[in-house]
Amino acid sequence: MEINLFGLIKFGQKVHMEQLYKSGVIYMNHLSEFVKIEDNELRGDKHESLSEIKKITNIEISHRGRKIGYAETGRLSLWHNELMGNIYSMYTLYNVQRPEEILIDAKCKDFGDTFIIITNVEEFISRIKKEAAIHSVEVIYGPVEYVNTKEYLGSWSVFKKPLEYLYQQEFRFFAKKDNSGPFCLTIGSLEDISIMLDSDSLDKLSFERG
């Protein structure tokens, strides 16, 4: 995949961000964990277990053999019984003509008191892929597509999320794993390709083309 990004940002608690910055600890939680979380559209998302949204017609609703409702068309959501794989989420800084106009939603501060900006995306991804290969795990990655779930029809994927999460501008790493536990990679210090800052400085953050 061609990487055409200005950078990536990871928000989190300081203790975890220091582990990422100094040792490159990439902690990937299992998809099933995000389905359980209820936190007002921050980390939790029941759609992580969504498989497909289909259009259906001639819908009859019956109770004890008596028809009590009918609709010509409707929508049917299908869900996975078992989820497979682990994810690692970051905020995407896209390449734009005027990087000084980039604004990051203040709600991202809710993820933690510290954030790390990855300034060399290609190198960061390379280190993740190399470490994952040592563990014989395939990691795929890319920006998340945000869709209107009230209108969308078709197959769902791990790289789709509802529009309500658009403010997160997520770039996602997905590790194909069979087991249901967390998966951790340690890719080494990121001090040469990143900057660590306090989340309170987000409002003062500005970018410019080098």
Burial of residue 75 (CB within 10 Å: 0-12, 13-18, 19+) is middle
Q: Which two tokens stand for residue 123?
A: 């190198």
| Average pLDDT value over all residues in the chain | 88
Q: What integer pLDDT is reported at residue 38 of this predicted model?
A: 79
Describe the chain by its helix, strand, coil percentages, rounded to 5: 25, 40, 35
From the list 192, 153, 182, the residue with the least C-alpha distance to 86 is 182
Least-confidence region, from 59-73, 148-162, 174-188: 59-73
From the list 27, 209, 19, 199, the residue with the least C-alpha distance to 119 is 209
Q: What integer pLDDT is reported at residue 210 of this predicted model?
A: 62
Q: What integer pLDDT is reported at residue 146 of this predicted model?
A: 96
In eight-state DSSP terms, residue 37 is -
- Position 49 pLDDT exceeds 90: no
Q: What's the rounded mean pLDDT across residues 22-47?
A: 88
Question: In which band, very low, low, confident or very high, does the pLDDT at 63 lie, cut at 50, 70 and 90?
Answer: confident
In angstroms, the CA 14 to CA 25 distance is 13
